[in-house]
Structure 1
Amino acid sequence: MEKDLARTFAARITQASKTELVVIMYEVLLSDIASAKEYFHKGEDEKAMHDIKHGQKFLNELMSSLNYQYEISLNLMSLYIFVNKRIMDAYYKKEAEALDEAKEVLEILMKGFSEIAAGDKSGPVMTNTGQIYAGLTYGRGTLNETYVDPNQANRGFMA
């Protein structure tokens, strides 16, 4: 995963509710699958396997966070096991086609959780984090992205 993409996910995580965190985990996993598939097609198997391992950490987190008091958790676990099997097939057999099946299932699940997250008004899980305001400014020959945390009014030089 590229550093800029990782920073974007990290910033989103600080502002996310519980259900938005699940959606972000799906997005990270799908991003890793897409980049692994791309690396397989380029013949860069080591990089593909690195991205598969990274994505599998997020899949394992999704699996371990299920609450088995609800029947839907058993259904989700069955889907996660299937996805994990396809990811492992891609890893050991070095074939990108297995990732397509995993991607299809994850996209459907992400869509469902995205709809749930849209209605979640519980607020961010992380507390004591600043609100992020982003903007772009022009520098000499470059475009700079900055963010300002309004909760830190004492930043900068005092005159």
Structure 2
Amino acid sequence: MNQAQNTYFNTQITTANPGELTLMLYSGCVKFLKLALKSMEAGDFEQKNTYLIKAINIVDELLITLDMKYEISQSLSSLYIYIKELIIKANIKTQQEPLFESIQLVTELRDTWSEALKLVKS
């Protein structure tokens, strides 16, 4: 079952266009941030750290794939850096508030990106 699921996810990633890949990154980041929050609430700090590192890796990927020739990329870069700082703060200080804020910001980015993809398709 696990191998079939991995094959499915790999196929999804290799056949997705750049817009869909960005949406997947946003969705994965939200997922890991929420899992980190649950782990924090459960007192499982090792698992919290693991999930937050995964979220940071996704934010780093979003940062390095920005095409800086577009004006919006400057704003997104600043926002991604801020989100990364929130995640690091939540991890180091084991605080939920920066985690709540980062979840809200990435969720808004994901939802906006999803709407933009729908508009492009129609």
Q: Same fold (TM over 0.5)?
A: yes
TM-score normalized with structure 1 length: 0.68
Quickly say closer, same or farther: Cα 1:64–1:103, change in 2 above 3 A: same
Q: Which residue does the alignment assign to 2:86?
A: 86
Q: Name the counterpart of 2:51.
A: 51
Q: Is the 8 A contact 1:19 1:116 kept in 2?
A: no
Letter in 1 for 2:27: E
Shift in alpha-carbon separation, 1:45–1:4, aligned structure 2, 3 A? farther
Identity percentage of aligned residues? 27
Where does residue 118 of structure 1 map in the other structure? 118
Going by fraction, where is helix more abundant, 1 or 2? Answer: 2
Structure with bigger strand share is 1
TM normalised by structure 2 equals 0.87
Q: Alpha-carbon deviation of 1:97?
A: 2.1
Cα drift, residue 79 of structure 1: 0.8
Q: 1:4 to 1:112 in 2, by over 3 A?
A: farther
CA RMSD of aligned residues (A): 2.2
Any unmatched runs of 5+ in structure 1? 122-159
- Indicate the residue corresponding to 1:150 in structure 2: none
CA deviation map 1:62-101 (0-9, x unaligned): 0011111111000101111110111000110011221110
Aligned to 1:77: 77
Q: Choose 1 or 2 for highest CA Rg.
A: 1
Alignment-derived partner of residue 99 in structure 2: 99
Matched residue, 2:34: 34
* 1-structure distance, mates of 2:82, 2:73: 14
Number of aligned residue pairs: 120
**Counterpart-to-counterpart distance in 2, 1:67 and 1:79:** 15
Give the direction of change, closer, same or farther, for the CA distance of 1:42–1:106 in structure 2 (3 Å limit).
same
Alpha-carbon distance between aligned partners in 2 of 1:97 and 1:12, rounded to the nearest angstrom: 33
Relative to structure 1, the CA distance from residue 113 to residue 9 in structure 2 (aligned partners, 3 Å threshold; closer, same or farther) is farther
